Amino acid sequence: MTTHHAAQLPYTQAALAAPAAADGIAIRTLDLTTGYKNGRSHHVVNRGLNLTLQCGKLTALLGPNGAGKSTLMRTLCGLQPPLGGSVWIDGEPLHVLSPDRKARKLAVVLTDRVQIGYMTAYRLAALGRYPYTRWDGRLTAEDEAIVQDAMRAARCEALAARMVAQLSDGERQRVMIARALAQQTPIILLDEPTAFLDLPRRIEIMHLLHDLAHQTGRALLLSTHDLELALRFADELWLMGGDGAFVTGAPDEVYRRGDLLNVFADEGAEVRRYLQEMHQRWKTTI
């Protein structure tokens, strides 16, 4: 098993310049309660979350369906308000930031389908400059250089002239990542970026995200179902259980403590047996 060292890449550093958080902490949640408000009734999904997302690291959010991964991601993106507590991004309270300020702190890659009739991949990536362009959206030469660097960093510059509608899922995901890079935010949140991709593409994307976090100093948080890939590529794991349990830690730490087995404790015998076997395998490989 080789370690994935950061390769030297042939792009300049402009796209990679994003204002880093002063204390190395990109997102901090204080006693955060996530959930949905439906009229007057509140449906709480998770309670009392005190999380910190580190700069320069790839963090993976794992957990079974229904545990609240999407709800947490949407809350951290600012797409839905918290039911209690607060989210601080880069030292500022997320849910009172103006859309413009927020867009300079935090970029996202979502699961929403991107269907555009006639737009090149380059134009799509260039939308990441939205918070920085004037009223009519015109890009300066500097903007264009940043977008080009972002596409090189996401290793999709060869796709620049292709129409978005003609890209494969994996190719489109790279362009969306380039767009998030071009937004020059210290934080990028990715909601299941490897869903719909085949295994080689999943490995490539995880590899890319790992490299980007380390090379650019950004804080990258992704939610995923890819347990094994997350264990291999992530620097930090956030594990959510179906019962509201939440544990965090580096992969080997999480593994040593047997947290995986605890988080999936409610699952059936097959699942637990599979995880136990994984646990044994991991012990022997180390």
Partner 1 sequence: MKVSAPSGVGQAAKPLADPFPPLGIRRSVLVGLAAFALLAFLLSLAIGSVPIPLAEVVHVLLGGQASEATWQTIILLFRLPKAITALLAGAALSVAGLQMQTIFRNPLADPFVLGISSGASLGVALVVLGGTSANVTVFGRTAYLGDFGLVTAASLGAAAVFAVVLAIARRVQSVVTLLVLGLMISYLTSAVVSLLIYFSIPEQISAYINWTFGSFGGVTWQQMRALAPALLLGLTLALLTAKPLNALLLGENYAASMGVNVRAARWLVTASASLLAGAVTAFCGPIGFIGIAVPHLCRALFGTSDHRMLLPAALLLGGGLALIFDLISQMPGARAALPLNVVTSAVGAPVILWIVMRRQSFGQV
Site for partner 1, rule CB under 8 A: 7-10, 77-79, 99-100, 102-104, 106-108, 110, 112-120, 122-124, 126-128, 130-131, 133, 135-139, 144, 148, 151-152, 155-161, 163, 165, 170-171, 174, 183, 204
Task: For the CB of residue 234, give the shortest distance to partner 1 in the complex, in Å.
Answer: 21
Task: For the CB of residue 212, give the shortest distance to partner 1 in the complex, in Å.
Answer: 13
Of 32 and 160, nearer to partner 1 (C-beta) is: 160
Task: For the CB of residue 21, give the shortest distance to partner 1 in the complex, in Å.
Answer: 19
Of 161 and 250, nearer to partner 1 (C-beta) is: 161
Tally the C-alpha atoms within 13 A of residue 209's C-alpha that lie toward its C-beta.
Answer: 36
Task: For the CB of residue 125, give the shortest distance to partner 1 in the complex, in Å.
Answer: 10
Of 204 and 267, nearer to partner 1 (C-beta) is: 204
Q: 93-129: string of b/e by CB count within 10 Å (b at 16+)?
A: ebeebeeeebbbbbbbbbeeeeeeeeebbbbbbbebb
Q: Which residues contact 88 (CB under 8 A, 6 or more apart)?
A: 27, 28, 29, 30, 94
Pairing of strands 236-240, 58-62: parallel
Of 65 and 118, nearer to partner 1 (C-beta) is: 118
Q: Could you give the C-alpha distances from 172 to 58, 151, 156, in angstroms and in order?
A: 21, 12, 9
